[in-house]
Each structure stands twice: as structure tokens, then as C-alpha cells.
């Protein structure tokens, strides 16, 4: 465990020094929440709604950091380490490549957790946001959405031959999901046909899962997105382990 925490500390320092995740995983979700707060304030999501527009969009704001870390940050780092033979070199040291990847995965989990805490405190202080459903149900939906998104990134990083290829694949996944899955543009304001189209994105299902848990919507509306995100996590994790290349 001592090796793991030393490695985690070093990887976190490198990530913070790079500043990309600070901007896209911490500041960007907060900026989106603040903009929505300025525009909608404490207005209800629709006429007669028992919850505000901010409360309806809170899960989507949380997903921005998952999208940044899982679909862009993690695959680029893993593929870069492979291209630069860092994973190969770790094989002859007491620190195994698996330990390195575990530390790298933990870095992005910490970013997502820090973003969740920042968003929650800001929303509660300025717009009196509160969870209408179960806190544990929301945290569980947040966790499964985060892990499934990170598993997609691990799969991309595991299959890409180099950082350039990983960057292309990551961009193809990142930008459409960032814009159309409900993270930046709420699904509720999209035309009906567009809503049906974006429902095919795994992250859209994850945001739906978090929203339903946050607002306390009935279990019937939770089972489908929960099954989709669990399936994505199992499938991507299995494929990443099966086809992962260390060098």
C-alpha cells in the first residue's frame, strides 16, 4: 500500500501540474452550474414542478468531470505511457504496471469526487439545492456512472496503439457526449427527436440514472439506465482486460 500511495501522490502531482483536469474536470462543471444558476435561479423545472431546474440538472453537471476524465484524460495518459515504454519499464521494478494503472484510475476518481463535493456545496449555498430522493441512491448512481465512464476510457487507452490514435478515438467519444448527452445542454430542452437520438449514448443513461435518484423518481425509471450503465461497465472492463497491451 505504501508503494501505491507514493505512486498516487506522484501521478496526482503530474496531473495537477498539467492543469488540464483542473480546468475541464473541476472548473468547467462548476462554471456550467453557475451559468445555469444565473439563468434559472430557483425557478421550477416546469410549471408546477416540485423541484427546480438546477436540481434537475445537478446530475448532468456532475457528469462533466466524468466525461473529461474518463473519455479524454485517462485514455490519453494510458496510451502515452505505453508509447513512451513507461509500462514496459515498470515490469522490471517493484511497482507493477497494474499498480500504476490503479493509481492512475484513482486520480480520476478523486477528480470526480472533488467535483461532486464542489458542485454540491455551491448549489446548496447559493440556490438551496437539496436531494429529493435518497442520498445513498444518488451516490450509488453517481458511482456506477463514473466507473462505467472510466471503463470506456480504460478500453480506449488499452486498445489504442499510440497517443495520437487514442486522441482521435477520445475526441470522437468526448465531444458528442459532452454536447449532446445532457452534460452541457439539458436533454429536457432538446427537440423530441433529438432526445430519442441522444438516449443511445451511455452517458445519457447515466445522467438519467443520477437525475432520477436525485429527484426521487420511481424505480421503474431507474432500472433501464442502471442496467445500461452496468452492462457498459462490465463489457468495457472485460474487453480492456482481455485486449490490454503493455507495450
180 band by pLDDT with thresholds 50, 70 and 90: confident
How distant, in Å, are the alpha carbons of 19, 45, 166, 170 from that of 186?
27, 11, 28, 22
pTM score above 0.85: yes
Which residues have C-beta within 8 Å of that of residue 16, sequence separation ≥ 6?
Answer: 22
136 band by pLDDT with thresholds 50, 70 and 90: very high
- Report the C-alpha gap between 215 and 56 in whole angstroms: 7
228 band by pLDDT with thresholds 50, 70 and 90: confident
Q: What DSSP assignment string belongs to 174-239?
A: HHHHHHHSSSSS-GGGS-HHHHHHHTTSHHHHHHHHHHHHHHT--THHHHHHHHHHHHHHHHHHHH
Instruction: Give me the mean pLDDT over the 33-57 stretch.
Output: 87
Lowest mean pLDDT among 155-159, 163-167, 237-241, 243-247: 243-247
Confidence check: pLDDT of 193 > 90: no
Confidence check: pLDDT of 221 > 70: no
Cell of 212: 432520477
Amino acid at each position: 500500500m505504501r508503494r501505491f500511495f507514493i505512486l498516487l501522490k506522484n501521478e496526482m502531482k503530474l496531473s495537477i501540474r498539467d492543469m488540464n483536469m483542473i480546468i475541464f474536470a473541476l472548473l468547467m462543471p462548476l462554471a456550467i452550474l453557475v451559468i445555469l444558476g444565473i439563468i434559472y435561479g430557483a425557478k421550477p423545472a416546469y410549471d408546477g414542478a416540485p423541484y427546480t431546474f438546477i436540481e434537475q440538472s445537478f446530475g448532468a453537471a456532475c457528469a462533466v468531470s466524468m466525461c473529461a476524465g474518463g473519455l479524454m484524460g485517462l485514455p490519453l495518459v494510458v496510451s502515452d505511457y505505453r508509447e513512451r515504454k513507461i509500462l514496459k519499464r515498470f515490469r522490471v521494478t517493484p511497482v507493477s504496471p497494474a499498480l500504476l494503472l490503479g493509481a492512475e484510475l484513482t486520480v480520476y476518481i478523486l477528480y470526480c469526487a472533488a467535483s461532486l463535493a464542489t458542485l454540491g456545496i455551491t448549489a446548496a449555498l447559493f440556490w438551496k439545492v437539496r436531494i429529493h430522493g435518497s442520498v445513498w441512491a444518488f451516490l450509488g448512481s453517481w458511482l456506477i456512472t463514473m466507473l462505467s465512464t472510466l471503463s470506456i476510457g480504460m478500453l480506449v487507452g488499452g486498445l489504442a496503439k499510440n497517443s495520437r490514435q487514442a486522441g482521435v478515438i477520445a475526441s470522437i467519444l468526448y465531444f458528442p457526449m459532452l454536447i449532446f448527452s445532457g452534460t452541457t445542454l439539458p436533454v429536457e430542452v432538446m427537440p423530441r427527436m433529438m432526445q430519442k437520438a441522444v438516449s443511445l449514448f451511455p452517458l445519457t443513461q447515466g445522467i438519467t440514472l443520477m437525475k432520477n435518484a436525485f429527484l426521487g423518481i420511481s424505480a421503474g425509471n431507474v432500472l433501464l439506465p442502471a442496467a445500461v450503465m452496468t452492462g457498459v461497465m462490465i463489457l468495457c472492463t472485460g474487453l480492456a482486460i482481455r485486449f490490454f497491451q503493455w507495450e
